[in-house]
Structure 1
Amino acid sequence: MDAFGHVNNNQFMVLLEEARVSMMFTTAAEAGLTGFRDGVVVARHEVDYLLPVVVPAAIRVELWIERIGNASFTFAYELSADDKLALRAKSVMVPFDTETQRPRRITAEEREFLQQWTD
């Protein structure tokens, strides 16, 4: 909560991260894809706060893949509180090789997985 009794803007980023991580790690692993677990970083966040959110509230995060490039992909999100759209956001993600500490290209398997989540 912030000083005005609203959910703090940083907490929204945590909610978006939890949704994103669930898809990239849990759902991808269930599909036999483990590449994102090996490394992926956030290159950019873009957030539009549309309404303040107070607790308690029923929060729902919907996410999809908006764009897939050769070495990055973009998540799009809509966060609703009590069935009212409260936030729209995007995150540009970059697959990352933790051994070389360098970005890497998206594999064919990762692209296939991500494409099923495009709008």
Structure 2
Amino acid sequence: MTTEAPASAPTPPYGQLIPVSVHFDELDALGMLHNARYPLLVERAWLQLWQERGDWQTSGDAGAVVKELRITYEEPVHRPGPYAVHLWLERLGTTSLMYGFRLCAADGGVTYAHGTRAVIRLDPGTLRPASWSDQFRAVGHSLLRPSE
């Protein structure tokens, strides 16, 4: 039996909490979410966030490659159901960005895994680094984590 994620999630102090669902068939032989599924859930949440905020395919901002992915597993996810991915930007450069993430309980309370991912925007014709669009940068600034 699979439970769908809630329609909305609590608002964190920075970034955005995106509801996700873990399904029974994503669990491994020990009944835990397989380690390779964590980054996939984060990727799906990231795509959902940007799809809700603009047409990134048309502007070319969707054409980015991953430079680095770091993830730390804190607690096992051991049942299907609603969870959330908390996303924010750590830094937004001219052609690259680094975002932070947490796979967490649907209410944002328990953190199961956290990490960062660096991406570089590429020009689709030349496959060379290209600047983010003004629209993307405006949205990105709203997701920046405040400096401590």
Report the TM-score, using the length of structure 2 for normalisation.
Answer: 0.69
Name the structure 2 match of 1:36.
61
Residue aligned with 1:36, SS: coil
Residue aligned with 2:80, SS: coil
| Higher percent of residues as strand | 1
Partner amino acid, structure 2, of 1:51: E
Name the structure 1 match of 2:29.
3
- Once superposed, which parts of structure 1, at least 4 consecutive aligned residues long, lie more than 3 Å away? none
Partner amino acid, structure 1, of 2:131: R
Which of 77, 80, 94 is matched with 1:70 structurally? 94
CA distance in 2, matches of 1:26, 1:95: 19
| Higher percent of residues as helix | 1
Q: CA RMSD in A?
A: 2.0
Whether contact under 8 Å (1:57, 1:81) holds in the other structure is no
Distance change (3 Å), C-alpha of 1:94 and 1:25: farther
Within a 5 Å distance, the mapping from 1:99-114 to structure 2 comes to 99-114=125-140
Give the gaps of 5 or more residues in structure 2.
1-26
Name the structure 2 match of 1:87.
113
Confirm whether residue 16 of structure 1 aligns to residue 42 of structure 2: yes
Give the gaps of 5 or more residues in structure 1.
none
CA distance in 1, matches of 2:95, 2:88: 18
The Cα of 1:110 is off from its aligned counterpart by: 2.5
Residue aligned with 1:15, SS: helix
Whether contact under 8 Å (2:60, 2:124) holds in the other structure is no
Name the structure 1 match of 2:83.
59
Partner amino acid, structure 1, of 2:40: V
Whether contact under 8 Å (2:74, 2:111) holds in the other structure is yes
Cα distance per residue 1:25-71 (max 9 Å; x no partner): 342329xx73323x111111110100011122421111011111222
Identity of aligned residues (%): 25
Number of residue pairs matched by the alignment: 116
The Cα of 1:103 is off from its aligned counterpart by: 2.0
Partner amino acid, structure 1, of 2:105: A
Confirm whether residue 45 of structure 1 aligns to residue 69 of structure 2: yes
